[in-house]
Chain A
Amino acid sequence: MDKKIVGYADEISVAPGERIRFMVSCEPEISRYRAEFVRLLSGDTQPDGPGYRDEPLPGAAIGEHAGRRQAVHAGAFGIVPHHRVFEGLESLSLQVTVYPTLPEARRACVLSKTDPAAGAGFALWCDPREGMVLALGDGDGGMRELATGRPLIAKEWYLVQATCDAESGEVRISQRLLESYARDTSTGSARTRLEGEVALSCDAPLLVAAHSRERSRRGRPIPELVFNGRVERPVVASRRLDEAELETLRYGPLPAALRPALCVALDFSREIDSDDIVDISPNRVHGELVNLPIRAVRGSSWTGEEMNFRHAPEHYAAVHFLEDALYDCEWESDFELVVPEGTRSGFYAAKLTSGDQEDHIPFFVRPPRGRASAPLVLIAPTASYMAYANWRSSMENEHGELDYNHLAEIFPEDRYLNLRPELGNSMYDHHADGTGVCYSSRLRPILNFRPKHGSLWQLSADMHLVDWLESNDIAYDVLTDEDMHADGVECLRRYRCVMTCTHPEYYSTPMWNALYAYTQGGGRLMYLGGNGFYWRVAFRDDKPGAMEMRRAEDGSRSWIAEPGEYYMAFTGELGGMWWRCGGAPQYLVGNGFVAQGFDFSSYYRRNSDSFDPRAAFVFEGVGPEELIGNFGLIGGGAAGIELDAFNRHYGTPPHALNLASSEKHTDSYLHVNEDVGHMYLPIGGLDDPAVRADMVFFETPNGGAVFSTGSIGWCSALFHRRYDNNVSRITRNVLDRFLDAAPFDDGGG
């Protein structure tokens, strides 16, 4: 059944008394829908699963709302507002350096300041057949064009110059390949003499990498024909500059003699950690970037001498624009909720229904600020939810079926997403031009951030743990990654025990520091997932709901960051694997990502360490030869999907106990490439002893402790025989001990 209602919320975590707004879009046949607020109790609807359960959020009104369609305007571009320096233009010079990444696809706009209806203004286009094209308004609803006639080659830098001289009537355009290849035919130029008038001035803003004919509800130009690729140092001058003059404007400070002629000169090497684009001309007509084009990318003068944009911003003077990037849908709010006082912390959703149509917009209610309402807190891994947001893999991944070793299943959400490229990508996807996606946002409908999603992954898989807590009457609070990022360890210190969900893969530095400070300060951490704490991400205070990461250097990754682009624009930090950034997961939780596979899950067998008296509490009621978790709702076992192993070399504490290990994984489980220096054949589960999950326990200073299962599949086994099983028992044993105030023996006497 096709989806006909989708929505998103402006907040991800709200405390009682705080407001959250919901934005909804419906297909035309949905004239009305009902919106209620529910606490999510359980989500897995497969026949053997616990089913979906919710309960009303007490005190929250049920609403009936009119359905309406709300548009999404994707496309990353730049806007420089209109300014009087653009008025009365009779002559013109344009210069820009470009690196097209999809020049063969369609005409795309590199620079525009046009009023198409009036036929006024100017634009530079990149055309698949005509190469660079200068368009000048004819003052009569049309544009006059002059093209080089030479198509540009993808992923090469070109210097583009265009001039229009009112006095002589001469118009020129040129494109020059900056690399020196033998037999190049893509450099070229054209000139002509104007016949008739041109109208170069209009009051539209100057757009970088986009054209526009309409404005959005908020008055912003709606981008069209967005240029995919990099743009560096666009310059607009109000007279014809000769080639020598233009050359002096390419890099560095602007020559004093030319300043009076300049309208705008945008230096993208400035303010890289923001949306600001800085005009270094005397006019200071600064602009802004929309929809998160990629910053901190190599420019035309990058040499490889410097890898960090902060050390040599002039090497990073480009912005990578993209037709399918999206930050904020900016939909109008349809309804809102002020979380009633007394609402229990937990997983919640706005549940929208109309006939047989349904959608859930999840959010999290944290306890009242500054307080804890239970001794246990579950961390909703919202950074990881965001990384996977609108994952297009099932319909796009070339090797997806090989990963799973069965046919891909296409859920209604996947089809909906495929039909709507404008809803943006996950950090696992590629942009339309093949560029890896390094920003994500939650300010858009996220089709796979749903409790009943058919693919048990992230939130839908985490619902197994929520179901276990709810069904066993275990009191818990919920905080999100973003809470931990903003509040630091203070928000964790109120709890005896912190529990993770199934796949807390993405961590910012403040999040990592908070969790480490918590365990070092005597806190107890239960890591009930796999491949956690793997990638470093960054948030920006002035960009709520957006997140950055770079798939840098190493790691099991769906795309690979370009050389020199390992540092995150948001914070300037080195991106990539936490292991490579000095914070290996083994150091934090005792085990770290070692293998993944997606067909069958397996079980754990107890190691000799499990009989150490220090770990006796873990195995109370579990026999010495008992297989642990040879059942489960994901792949049929508790050890599955992504596995973490004990590794002293990477940072597992020397006193840690390796309690139990999984075994007999299939060959679909492969040893991660960051562990494999030289390639060798047997890296699958049948041969490679590294392919296993290790269950780890260790004490931390000040009476704290860490327990880690190292498997995404762990929580899928909790429900087996209505929670009467050894995975449930071990989880409960550890939780009970971790909630006990009695300090663990840290050896300090």
Chain B
Amino acid sequence: MPSHYPVDASRTDLAREFKANPFGPHRPELQRVVTRLRWCEVPGRHVLVTRVPHREWVLGRLSGRRGVDVELLEDQVFTSRAEAEWAVFKLRWQAVTGKTLDID
């Protein structure tokens, strides 16, 4: 069951703050948003699948089931973990708030 902390879609300042420093440590206000976005059920959860160790990752979504492979999102390949964190942050922000984050 996901966290019930509400994410305020108007707080794009927090999103910018995350983008600038995706690995933290975050201020408590931002960390609560990050915790809400990270706290999602296993099926469908975004993960980084190693393509070249330490250098390249492809975004994936967990099946949540043994014997069923992670779904690879081949159009989302990253050479930086920070970029991947930001891409997933935006996806989850939209999923949770219903609003697109118009920040590049």
> A residues touching B (Cβ–Cβ < 8 Å)?
45-47, 324, 392, 394-399, 401-402, 405-412, 415, 418-421, 432, 454, 599-600, 666-668
Q: Report 7 cross-chain contacts, Cβ distance below 8 Å, ordered by A residue.
A: A396-B42, A405-B23, A406-B85, A407-B46, A407-B85, A410-B70, A666-B24
Chain A residues lying within 8 Å of B68, measured Cβ to Cβ, are 418
A407, B53: Cβ atoms closer than 8 Å: no
Q: Are A409 and B42 also in contact (CB < 8 A) when A666-B24, A667-B31 are?
A: no
Q: How far is the CB of B73 from chain A (nearest CB, A)?
A: 13
The distance in angstroms between the C-alpha atoms of A145 and B67, with both chains bound, is 31
Chain B residues lying within 8 Å of A418, measured Cβ to Cβ, are 63, 66-70
Contact of A600 among B25, B66, B88 (CB under 8 A): B25
Contact of B39 among A402, A408, A432, A599 (CB under 8 A): A402
A407, B67: Cβ atoms closer than 8 Å: no
- Scan residues 62-95 of chain B and give those whose CB is less than 8 A from a CB of chain A: 62-64, 66-70, 81, 84-85, 88
Q: How far is the CB of B92 from chain A (nearest CB, A)?
A: 11
B23, A599: Cβ atoms closer than 8 Å: yes
Residue on B nearest A420 in the bound complex, by CB: B67
Consensus secondary structure, chain A interface: loop
Most chain A beta carbons < 10 A, residue from B28, B35, B53: B53
Residue on B nearest A48 in the bound complex, by CB: B54
Q: How far is the CB of A697 from chain B (nearest CB, A)?
A: 31
- Residue-wise interface mask of B (20-44) relative to A, using a CB-CB cutoff of 8 A (1 in contact, 0 not): 0011110010010011001111100
Residue on A nearest B88 in the bound complex, by CB: A407
Q: How far is the CB of A376 from chain B (nearest CB, A)?
A: 32
A419, B47: Cβ atoms closer than 8 Å: no
Chain A residues lying within 8 Å of B48, measured Cβ to Cβ, are 407-410
Residue on B nearest A407 in the bound complex, by CB: B48
> B residues touching A (Cβ–Cβ < 8 Å)?
22-25, 28, 31, 34-35, 38-42, 45-50, 53-54, 57, 60, 62-64, 66-70, 81, 84-85, 88
Supplied contacts A415-B70, A599-B24, 5 more A-B pairs, CB within 8 Å:
A398-B41, A407-B47, A408-B47, A418-B68, A419-B69
The distance in angstroms between the C-alpha atoms of A395 and B84, with both chains bound, is 18
B50, A411: Cβ atoms closer than 8 Å: yes
The distance in angstroms between the C-alpha atoms of A47 and B80, with both chains bound, is 13
Q: How far is the CB of B67 from chain A (nearest CB, A)?
A: 6
A412, B42: Cβ atoms closer than 8 Å: no
Contact of A405 among B34, B45, B50, B67 (CB under 8 A): B34
B53, A599: Cβ atoms closer than 8 Å: no
Chain A residues lying within 8 Å of B46, measured Cβ to Cβ, are 407
B84, A407: Cβ atoms closer than 8 Å: yes
What 6 A-B pairs come out closest when comparing CB atoms?
Answer: A421-B66, A401-B38, A410-B49, A408-B47, A666-B25, A409-B48
Q: How far is the CB of B103 from chain A (nearest CB, A)?
A: 19
Q: How far is the CB of A426 from chain B (nearest CB, A)?
A: 13
A407, B81: Cβ atoms closer than 8 Å: yes
Q: Are A419 and B54 also in contact (CB < 8 A) when A402-B39, A407-B46 are?
A: no
Contact of B66 among A45, A401, A432, A454 (CB under 8 A): A432
Residue on B nearest A600 in the bound complex, by CB: B25
Q: How far is the CB of A598 from chain B (nearest CB, A)?
A: 12
Residue on A nearest B84 in the bound complex, by CB: A407
B38, A409: Cβ atoms closer than 8 Å: no
The distance in angstroms between the C-alpha atoms of A410 and B48, with both chains bound, is 6
Chain A residues lying within 8 Å of B31, measured Cβ to Cβ, are 667
The distance in angstroms between the C-alpha atoms of A418 and B65, with both chains bound, is 8
Q: How far is the CB of A115 from chain B (nearest CB, A)?
A: 29
Contact of B50 among A409, A666, A667 (CB under 8 A): A409
Contact of A406 among B23, B54, B66 (CB under 8 A): B23
Q: Are A405 and B57 also in contact (CB < 8 A) when A410-B47, A419-B67, A432-B66 are?
A: no
Most chain A beta carbons < 10 A, residue from B22, B48, B68: B48
A410, B35: Cβ atoms closer than 8 Å: no
Contact of B47 among A324, A409, A421 (CB under 8 A): A409
Contact of B60 among A402, A410, A412, A666 (CB under 8 A): A410
Q: Are A421 and B54 also in contact (CB < 8 A) when A399-B39, A407-B46, A409-B48 are?
A: no
Chain A residues lying within 8 Å of B53, measured Cβ to Cβ, are 45, 454
The distance in angstroms between the C-alpha atoms of A399 and B40, with both chains bound, is 8
Chain B residues lying within 8 Å of A599, measured Cβ to Cβ, are 23-25
Residue on B nearest A404 in the bound complex, by CB: B38
Most chain A beta carbons < 10 A, residue from B45, B50, B88: B50
Chain B residues lying within 8 Å of A401, measured Cβ to Cβ, are 38-40, 45
The distance in angstroms between the C-alpha atoms of A401 and B69, with both chains bound, is 19
Residue on B nearest A406 in the bound complex, by CB: B23
Chain B residues lying within 8 Å of A432, measured Cβ to Cβ, are 66
